[in-house]
């Protein structure tokens, strides 16, 4: 039971981490903000995927691309959605708390 469960978990985890096949439909991802930090950004993002930003802090934040390709206002305890922009690296930050930063990398 334990071994089977571990194997199943490993396979499921590998499936989540693996890059999507070419031509796959856009996928959804989650980035959590907590304690004044952006959580990990999922790997293997593709242009057109959706990111749901969940703000667990008690203060307002934003997720804003420095190249202005996306921006979403995130009320305390709220969430918002953006679309992963074109391929490349997109640095982002919170406009209210500029020390909060992150980077997402997208492929075609």
Partner 1 sequence: MIAKTLLASASALLLSVSPTTLAAESPTDPQIAHIAYTAGLLDVHAGEQALRQAADPAVRQFAQTMIRDHKAVNQQAIALLKKLGLRPEPNATSEKLTSQARDTAAHLGSLTGRSCDKAYIRNEVAFHRQVNEALSNSLIPNARNAQLKSLLENGLALFQAHQSHAEHLLSQLK
- Least Å distance, CB 53 to partner 1, is 17
Smaller CB distance to partner 1: residue 6 or 101? 101
The least distance separating partner 1 from the CB of residue 56, rounded to whole angstroms, comes to 10
Q: Looking at 11-19, 43-51, 65-73, 91-99, which segment touches partner 1 (CB under 8 A)?
A: 91-99
Residues 6+ apart with CB under 8 A from 28: 49, 50, 51, 52
Candidate residues 60, 73, 79, 107; the one interacting with partner 1 per rule CB under 8 A:
60
Token pair of 99, please?
């020390």
CA-closest candidate to residue 83, choices 56, 60, 104, 59: 104
Torsion sign over Cα 26, 28, 33, 37: negative
**Does the protein bind partner 1 through residue 100 (CB under 8 A)?**
yes
């Amino acid at each position: 039971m334990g071994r089977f469960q571990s194997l199943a978990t490993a396979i499921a985890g590998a499936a989540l981490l693996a890059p999507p096949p070419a031509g796959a439909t856009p996928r959804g991802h989650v980035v959590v903000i907590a304690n004044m930090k952006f959580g990990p950004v999922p790997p293997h993002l593709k242009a057109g995927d959706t990111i749901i930003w969940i703000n667990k802090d008690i203060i307002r934040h934003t997720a804003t691309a420095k190249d202005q390709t996306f921006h979403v206002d995130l009320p305390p305890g709220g969430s918002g959605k953006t679309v992963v922009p074109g391929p490349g690296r997109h640095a982002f930050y919170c406009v209210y708390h500029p020390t909060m930063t992150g980077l997402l990398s997208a492929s075609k």
